[in-house]
Amino acid sequence: MKSVANILKLKADHRVYSVAPDASVFDALKLMAEKNIGALLVMEGSTIVGIITERDYARKIVLLGRASPQTQVREIMSPDVMFVGPDHTTKQCMALMTQNRLRHLPVIDDGKLLGLISIGDLVKDIISEQQFIIEQLERYITGVRA
C-alpha cells in the first residue's frame, strides 16, 4: 500500500491553490474553473482556516439563492478541515474520506502544507495497484517470467 507522500510525488501538478477568507465566492469559483479543480484551501498566511468546494457553492449559494460576487468565502467555507500526514496509506485515507464524506485532504507534515490529495488521486492509485497485481497473477498462472 502506497503512502500519501508517494502519491504526491506521482501527481503531475501537485501545487495547492488557495484563497483568502475575505475573497468573494465568485473569485474562488473563477480560480477553480481556471485550474480545473473542485476545491480550494482557505488560508490566512500559511494557516489553513477552511476549505471551499463546489459542493459548498451548490448547497450554500445556489440552493439558498445567494449571490456569489457579494458573498465572502468565509461565509460558506467548511472551517473544520481534516488532514493527513505523508505516512498515511491510501487505505487509511480512503477510510477517512468515506467515513467523513470528504473528497479532498490536505497533507501536512510538522505544520507544513505538502499538498492536497483528492478521492480521484486515491482511486487512480488503487486501480494502478490492482492492475499490477492482476498482471503479476496472470504471469504466475501462465508461467511467463518478467
Long-range residue pairs from 35-38, CB within 8 A, at least 24 positions apart, any chain: 38/103, 38/104, 38/118
Domain-by-domain residue ranges, the chain? 4-142
What is 4-142's CATH topology? Answer: CBS-domain (3.10.580)
* Least confident residue range of 2-16, 32-46, 108-122: 2-16
Closest by alpha carbon to 81, among 60, 45, 53, 114?
Answer: 53
What pLDDT sits at residue 47? 93
What pLDDT sits at residue 34? 96
List pLDDT tens digits, range 39-92. Answer: 999 999 989 999 999 999 999 998 888 999 999 999 999 999 999 999 999 999
